[in-house]
Amino acid sequence: MSLLFLGMTVGFIYLNSLLFSKPPSDLQSVDLEFPLRTPWVIAQGGNTVLMNTHQNTESQSQSLDIVGLTFGSSRADGVAPVALEQYVIFEKPVFSPCDGEIIAVEGRFPDQEIGDINRLYPAGNYVIIHCSNSSILLAHLCNGSITVDIGDIVTKGQVIGKVGNSGNSTEPHLHIQAVVGKVDDVQMFVNGAKPVVMTFGGRYLKRGEFGD
């Protein structure tokens, strides 16, 4: 009887996650090109707290955290890797997801060792692109990797930097987030700006979804 109850509970949580992981219809949306060209999986994403811890903050509620995958579906080399280079996504190129203008850049923070977190500057190294009446933040970039400056006009698919482990990051990954309007203050992305739903080729991504 307890196994039946456990199965029903797991099934309910799964169906509940599917039901409420559709994008909210009352938010502005923007369709983007995926910013990576390496096998990936969504670590945080979707429209429930169960699938996306960013849901705890309104401005970040539609954010995604993305990690890399090996061909064996592992995010890193080893059971408990401590070297940044052991993580598949570390130093992989990040591509502009849209045509737009670079409106903010930060690249001075070091890449932290695993276990070290910079909560004071949570985005770490980042680029913000203004496109389609939205501003797109790509955060936790690798120190010294950013290839664009404020005022540059970028095109979809252009390399803008590499994935790192800077800011409020427990391991190398890419954080991507969209907000309404032209927002060059990264603190507004953390808390204050109105979120925008991101789709990629029309696809609304959720935790556990993957691609290459």
Tell me how far apart the alpha carbons of residues 15 and 7 are, in angstroms, rounded to a whole number: 12
Query: Which CATH number covers residue 80?
Result: 2.70.70.10
As for how many domains the chain has, the answer is 1
Q: CA separation (Å) from 39 to 17, 88, 89, 200?
A: 24, 9, 9, 15
Q: Is 4 helix (H, G, I), strand (E, B) or coil?
A: helix
Q: Which parts of the chain sit beneath pLDDT 70?
A: 1-21, 71-72
How do residues 17-26 score in pLDDT, each as one tens digit? 555 567 888 8
Q: Any idea what the Cα angle at residue 51 is, between residues 192 and 22, rounded to 5°?
A: 80
Domain of 190 in residue numbering reads as 2-211
Q: Is 179 helix (H, G, I), strand (E, B) or coil?
A: strand
Contact 38, 31 (CB under 8 A): no
SS3 helix, strand, coil % of the chain, rounded to 5? 15, 30, 55
Looking at residue 98, what is its pLDDT?
98
For the chain, what is the mean pLDDT? 90
Looking at residue 1, what is its pLDDT?
35
Residue 152 CB: number of other CB atoms within 10 A? 17
Contact 40, 211 (CB under 8 A): yes
Residue 117 CB: number of other CB atoms within 10 A? 14
